[in-house]
Amino acid sequence: MTNKILKTAILVIILDQLSKFLFKNYFNFTRNYGAAFGLFQGYRWLFVVVAAIVVLLIFRYKNKLDNFALGLLLGGTIGNLIDRLVYGYVIDFIDLGFWPSFNLADSFSTIGVFLLLYKHWKD
């Protein structure tokens, strides 16, 4: 695994977990027992397995894809995985009103995926 992927992932995990700690202890947050948009409630272990597969795929493609984007995706995946393993749910706290609530890990993962898609279509 390259340094850029690991450094990016570690920064994402720290920002994600710090923000979730603050919201869990001092502000309102949502417990998400499902996946994106709260879908598939109650399938915690399926999401743990999917996260493990994503991590393995990142290791597999680390030399073929953009390292920064992979770092964002890895950090976001591990950030939410930590929540699932520690709490049994994901802490969501960004609520725009017109969109289901989400967190920094979701945001970083989404940005990582869009960067990968953009670079794929660009090249």
Catalytic residue among 66, 83, 106, 123: 106
Dihedral sign for Cα atoms in the order 45, 50, 101, 84: positive
Would you call 92 a catalytic residue per the annotation?
A: yes
Catalytic residue among 83, 92, 95, 123: 92
Dihedral sign for Cα atoms in the order 11, 111, 47, 61: negative
Which parts of the chain are beta strand (E)? 30-32, 90-92
Report the chain's C-alpha Rg in angstroms. 14
Would you call 106 a catalytic residue per the annotation?
A: yes
Distance CA 61, CA 106 (A): 21
Question: What residues are labeled active site?
Answer: 92, 106
